[in-house]
Amino acid sequence: MNGFVSSTPMSGYDDFVRTVWDQFDNESPQFMINLWHTMPMDTTFDPMRIDPALMMSMGMDMSGQIAVSKLREATRDKLLAITQSFLHKARAIHEDGSSSSCSCESPGSTASHSNFVLLPPARVLECFLKSYTNSFERYYPTSARGVLDTNELIQNYNDKASSLLTLMMIAHGAMTIPSIEVRWLTGGFTEACRISLFDLIEKNIIMTGEPIVLHAALLFTVPVAWSGDKWQMDIAMGQRGMYLSMLRHSGILGVRPPTTPHINGNTSMNALWKDWLQQESRSR
């Protein structure tokens, strides 16, 4: 674990950490980039600039769109709370790795304070998720019904696993936005999720077969492997074999006999609908 966790942080992570936690002693601990209200984003934001002729030559449906459900404030609040633990874990890991080279920090320094991070507003997170659907879901559809609903994801599944997947979706979508602050956000989220994802599957081996954990691992591997940053690419390729082994042992790739829903007195249409959605998600 130490070989993967306590290495040099990925590109953008250092800037993210400095922006989050470099506060003066007399300041209230808070996050960071106070620019979200000025970012040129709206409901029609689309960062993709792909030649339509290229998409047609690849046989892709240009009219296909993945709908993104509106992010509820309760979902954002829960995601914010869980994100704190991910970022503090990443910070502790990297501080432990650098403590041997520098132990001059005083007890009253800012590193000993209880700092926290604030997520961007819900509308900005929705734009990042729409960017993710345009850059990933359009080509590798994994959302049943053609709807990306992070509210349902975070409410109905394991808290840490669903939050990891949601943050990786946000980070993946933010990668396509030409802003240095968003680049910091992407680096911070991706590095924190990398550490917490590895920690999650190490402490609970059963989670290695969960589709949302495997999905989060895919969303970490693909963008990092194509990032152009040598350290990022090396770590992605180093962990790729582990994640592929998890996928093979999960049984998802095995042949599953088709199931026909049976309605009886104890089965409601809503239960059958949820069961179909789960099967559809697993098949993707």
21-58: pLDDT as tens digits = 444 334 443 444 444 555 555 444 444 444 445 444 54
* Cβ atoms of 239 and 221 closer than 8 Å: yes
* Cβ atoms of 88 and 17 closer than 8 Å: no
The confidence score (pLDDT) of residue 165 equals: 94
CA atoms within 13 A on the CB side of 57: 5
Q: What is the spatial distance between Cα 229 and Cα 151, in angstroms, rounded to a whole number? A: 33
Instruction: Determine which helix (DSSP H) or strand (DSSP E) holds 193, and give its type and residue range.
Output: helix 180-203
Q: Report the chain's mean pLDDT, rounded to a whole number.
A: 73
Per-residue pLDDT at 9 exceeds 90: no
Task: Check residues 144 and 98 and name the one with the higher pLDDT.
Answer: 144
The tokens describing 95, both together, are 């501080």
The confidence score (pLDDT) of residue 2 equals: 44
Other CB atoms within 10 Å distance of the CB of residue 241: 9
Per-residue pLDDT at 81 exceeds 70: yes
144-159: pLDDT as tens digits = 778 899 999 998 888 9
Q: What is the spatial distance between Cα 280 and Cα 284, in angstroms, rounded to a whole number? A: 6
The tokens describing 263, both together, are 């309605």
The confidence score (pLDDT) of residue 18 equals: 57
225-270: pLDDT as tens digits = 877 778 878 888 888 888 888 888 877 766 666 666 566 656 677 7
**Tokens 């130490």, residue?**
2
Mean pLDDT within 111-125? 72
The confidence score (pLDDT) of residue 177 equals: 85
pTM over 0.85: no
Cis peptide bond upstream of 41, omega within 30: no
Residue extents of the structural domains in the chain: 28-59+77-97+115-254+269-283
**CA distances (Å), origin 171, targets 91, 224, 241, 278:** 18, 11, 22, 25
Mean pLDDT within 119-133? 90
Interhelix angle for 73-99 vs 180-203, to 10°?
80
